[in-house]
């Protein structure tokens, strides 16, 4: 049974979009997902026989009912996460300064054309992801890139950790 990684948008442990990870786990189990594991805020791994898009839609709908509006859920397979981590551009970037924006669908080829990067940020589009290197960190960045809006980001360290967790789950088959 495939292992999926769901990355939730606009969800955190406290404040707006608050969703305790125990509740996220219970929602996933209620949808019939098995071997559910959460990691940090807004990341959940699980097994399901259903197709990726079906899983994504079911989880987003269930979260929307719980939270009052759909947060946005991006689902990827372990193989996709492995490739995203392995093919990260900007090899000199510190992993915590390299964010991967996971998007619900592949953006247009010109998605980076409207980028305004006053602090020397660099971006690369690959598939349904946009990598952004923040040389001074993302916290105070004034980067403007409209294509990022529907997505959710994780730094490269988190992407690697989620890929490792998914691989461990697959290796216990």
Share of the chain above pLDDT 90, in %: 82
Please tell me whether residues 90 and 61 are part of one structural domain: no
Last residue within a domain, chosen from 45, 78, 111: 78
State the pLDDT at residue 95. Answer: 96
Whether 168 is in a domain gets the answer no
State the pLDDT at residue 16. Answer: 54
Whether 45 is in a domain gets the answer yes
Q: What is the pLDDT of residues 26-53, one digit of tens each?
A: 999 999 999 999 998 889 999 999 999 9
State the pLDDT at residue 17. Answer: 62
Please tell me whether residues 41 and 99 are part of one structural domain: no
- Residue 71's SS3 state is coil
Mean pLDDT highest for which of 66-70, 144-148, 168-172?
144-148
Q: What is the pLDDT of residues 108-164, one digit of tens each?
A: 999 999 999 999 999 999 999 999 999 999 998 999 999 999 999 999 999 999 999
Statement: residue 80 has pLDDT above 90: yes
Q: Which domain holds residue 36?
A: 3-78
Opening angle at CA 40, ends 100 and 126, nearest 5? 15
Please tell me whether residues 86 and 154 are part of one structural domain: yes
Whether 169 is in a domain gets the answer no
Please tell me whether residues 65 and 86 are part of one structural domain: no
State the pLDDT at residue 67. Answer: 86
State the pLDDT at residue 12. Answer: 61
Number of domains composing the chain: 2
Per-residue b or e along 46-63, where b marks 16 or more CB atoms closer than 10 Å to that residue's CB: bbbebeeeebbebbbebb
Alpha carbon dihedral 40, 53, 9, 34, in 10-degree steps, equals -30
State the pLDDT at residue 19. Answer: 81
DSSP 108: P
What span, in angstroms and rounded, lies between the C-alpha atoms of 48 and 60? 15
Which tokens belong to 24? 């996220």
Statement: residue 13 has pLDDT above 50: no
Complete edge-to-edge strand list for the sheet that includes strand 43-47: 34-38, 43-47, 3-8, 73-77
State the pLDDT at residue 106. Answer: 94
Mean pLDDT score across all residues of the chain? 92
What is the rounded average pLDDT of the residues 11-16? 54
């Amino acid at each position: 049974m495939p292992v999926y990684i769901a990355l939730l948008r606009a969800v955190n442990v406290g404040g707006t979009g608050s969703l305790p990870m125990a509740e996220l786990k219970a929602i996933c189990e209620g949808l019939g997902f098995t071997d559910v594991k959460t990691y940090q805020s807004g990341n959940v791994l699980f097994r399901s026989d259903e197709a990726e898009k079906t899983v994504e839609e079911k989880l987003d709908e269930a979260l929307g009912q719980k939270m009052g509006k759909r947060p946005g859920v991006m689902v990827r397979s372990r193989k996709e996460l492995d490739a995203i981590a392995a093919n990260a551009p900007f090899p000199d970037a510190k992993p915590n300064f390299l964010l991967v924006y996971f998007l619900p669908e592949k953006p247009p080829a010109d998605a980076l054309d409207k980028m305004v990067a006053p602090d020397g940020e660099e971006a690369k589009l690959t598939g349904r992801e946009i990598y952004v290197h923040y040389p001074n960190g993302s916290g105070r960045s004034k980067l403007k890139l409209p294509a990022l809006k529907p997505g959710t980001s994780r730094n490269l360290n988190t992407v690697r950790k989620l890929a490792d967790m998914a691989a461990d789950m697959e290796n216990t088959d």
